[in-house]
Amino acid sequence: MRTCPGLATGACFWGVCRVVERTFFAVKPDGVGRGLVGEVLSRLERKGLRLVGLKLMQVSPDLAQRHYEAHRDKPFFPGLVKFITSGPIVATVWEGRDAIAVVRSLMGATDSAKAAPGTLRGDFALSMGSNLVHGSDSKEAAEREIALFFRPEELVGAARPEESWLYAGE
Ligand code: RTP
Ligand code: MG
């Protein structure tokens, strides 16, 4: 595989070029505090997604408010900001085919008690508030959230040798 010239997040396999999607994904303070970082990230790695950004960080109230600005008027907003700033998170960016939808499906439903077994929330959480992980829910959100948490130079594309097996020429 090689990176396509002219495409910010493109890739070529056997001469076929495709646009690869990027998404923002975070392990929330409960996941870090419960020692589940490795377990969580390994699910995305095993799926075949490519890790292109990673940092352990403390979210400030200002960053939390900007990240969750779509929920600013909701009654749960103050609690959401309090929770996401209550301890370190692991902020990541992943790349791959349909990465946004793929990560959302690996996460499971927002209310962990209702999340399907086999999903991250379904297997490791019980709560609506402390629901372990965050993932961008649209292309616009992914672009916005990646830019909020990472500088461009912090994102590193590292091809995985087995990608020729992961993508059947798509
Ligand atoms: P996230 O943004 O954290 O990845 O979660 P999500 O997309 O699955 O859910 P979203 O609708 O974006 O809500 C953001 C977070 O707010 C809390 N929430 N509480 N009490 C409630 O009705 C309620 N609804 C949402 C959850 O912690 C959710 O992760
Ligand atoms: Mg959301």
Does the annotation mark 134 as catalytic? yes
Determine, yes or no, domain membership for 8.
no
pLDDT, one tens digit per residue, over 82-128 is 999 999 999 999 999 999 999 999 999 999 999 999 999 999 999 99
Determine, yes or no, domain membership for 93.
yes
Determine, yes or no, domain membership for 3.
no
Q: What integer best gives the mean pLDDT of the chain?
A: 91
**Which residue minimizes the CA distance to atom 4 of ligand 1?**
134
User: pLDDT value at position 17?
Assistant: 55
Q: Which of 30, 69, 110, 137 to mutate to test the pocket of ligand 1 (most atoms within 8 A of CB)?
A: 110
How many domains is the chain built from? 1
Is residue 80 within 6 Å of ligand 1 at its C-beta?
yes
What separation in angstroms does the CA of 93 have from each of 35, 37, 67, 127, 149? 20, 14, 15, 24, 9
Determine, yes or no, domain membership for 166.
no
Determine, yes or no, domain membership for 15.
no
Determine the structural domain holding residue 72 and report its residue range.
20-160
DSSP state of 59: P
Q: What is the mean pLDDT of residues 37-47?
A: 97
Determine, yes or no, domain membership for 2.
no
Determine, yes or no, domain membership for 49.
yes
What phi-psi label fits residue 49: left (phi over 0), alpha (psi between -120 and 50 degrees) or beta? beta
Considering only CA atoms, which of 55, 45, 42 is closest in space to residue 148? 55
pLDDT, one tens digit per residue, over 49-94 is 999 999 999 999 999 999 999 999 999 999 999 999 999 999 999 9
Q: Which of 119, 134, 135, 142 is catalytic?
A: 134
Instruction: State the CATH number of the domain containing residue 44.
Output: 3.30.70.141
Determine, yes or no, domain membership for 57.
yes
User: pLDDT value at position 62?
Assistant: 98
